[in-house]
Amino acid sequence: MKKLFAGLALSVLTFTGTSLSFAEMKVEDAIYYRKAGYGFMSWNMGKIKAQTVDESAPFNKDQIIAAANAIAAVANSGMGALYPPGSDMSKVKDTKLKPEFFQNMEEVGKIGENFNAAANNLATVAATGDKAAIAKAFGETGEACKACHDKFRAK
Amino acid sequence: MKKLFAGLALSVLTFTGTSLSFAEMKVEDAIYYRKAGYGFMSWNMGKIKAQTVDESAPFNKDQIIAAANAIAAVANSGMGALYPPGSDMSKVKDTKLKPEFFQNMEEVGKIGENFNAAANNLATVAATGDKAAIAKAFGETGEACKACHDKFRAK
């Protein structure tokens, strides 16, 4: 499995290591695709939250598993390739990515690894059907999302 | 696993059966989330195409597996819940969904099942690393996408 940001720093330096290399993909397309990934994870996070934390929807194990698998699969899909140089808000409209992202690649890598670990753990825990454990793993995944939002996403 | 459109016809009738029921989700949000799902699948389809059909990018088994898993997980996530009544282009901007979609739920269900089967097969075949077989499974998945686009998506 590719990690979310695994190899990103290297990719930024070499313009290779991705199936559609930065050189081949328009910055606008990369932003479109990465926002699609986060948007889709958001829907699935919302389903898990509603069923396990808020309890505003009935708990449905199959739906939780499907949602957690979707989040993990998106996280594992190599989204680091969708962060080409120059794809921040100082250079492109329609993104909230701060330019600091590209000045802190080591931290970005750690945040990405933490997120991937949390998303994969959520999928593992979802398979057990243990509602309280899922709620906990969901919270940890949300915190891992927030770590990047707090640092690198503009309000 | 939830199928893409499994239970959609029932959901349309009952407004239940989804974690965030149609009654709770704004039509605009449903459209946003479903477009995110299709957009993200599109990126992953593009990676598989480039590496196995076009051969414009080097074949990377790990990337192919991750991409195919992402497509299958999105397909299995219960996207039928993102087609609330009235979420077609006759009533809402920003969608190309034809109103005929809601008048042909049986056909929609079959198209959805075919797509899910093709996406899950693509993930299974991807795991083997057999490039030619992956290209074939990719083609079948693309055809399954196209079946819905041809019928229910405006140009």
- DSSP string computed for B30-71: HHHHHHHHHHHHHHHHHHHIIIIIS--S---HHHHHHHHHHH
In chain B, which residue's Cα lies nearest the Cα of A36? B36
pLDDT given at position B13 = 34
Report B:24-63 residues touching A (Cβ under 8 A).
Answer: 24, 32-33, 35-40, 42-44, 46-47, 50-51, 56-58, 60, 62-63
Average pLDDT for residues A105-111, to the nearest whole number? 97
Contact between B40 and A1 using a beta-carbon 8 Å cutoff? no
pLDDT given at position B23 = 55
Average pLDDT for residues A71-90, to the nearest whole number? 97
Contact between A20 and B65 using a beta-carbon 8 Å cutoff? no
Closest residue to A62, CB basis, from B1, B51, B67? B1
In chain A, which residue's Cα lies nearest the Cα of B127? A1
Residue range of the domain that includes A62: 2-152
Nearest 5°: CA angle at A37, between A95 and A116?
A: 105
Interface size A-B, in CB pairs within 8 Å, comes to 116
Ranges of residues in chain B with a pLDDT under 70 are 1-23
Q: What is the CATH number of the domain that holds B92?
A: 1.20.120.10
Minimal Cα–Cα distance from A20 to chain B, Å?
6
- Is B154's Cβ below 8 Å from some Cβ in A? no
Contact between A43 and B63 using a beta-carbon 8 Å cutoff? no
ipTM of the complex: 0.88
Q: How many domains would you assign to chain A?
A: 1
Closest residue to A39, CB basis, from B33, B73, B77? B33
Banded model confidence at residue A23, pLDDT cuts 50, 70, 90? low
Residues B112-127 as b/e (b if ≥16 CB within 10 A, e otherwise) read: bebbbbbbbbbbebbe
CA atoms within 13 A on the CB side of A98: 14
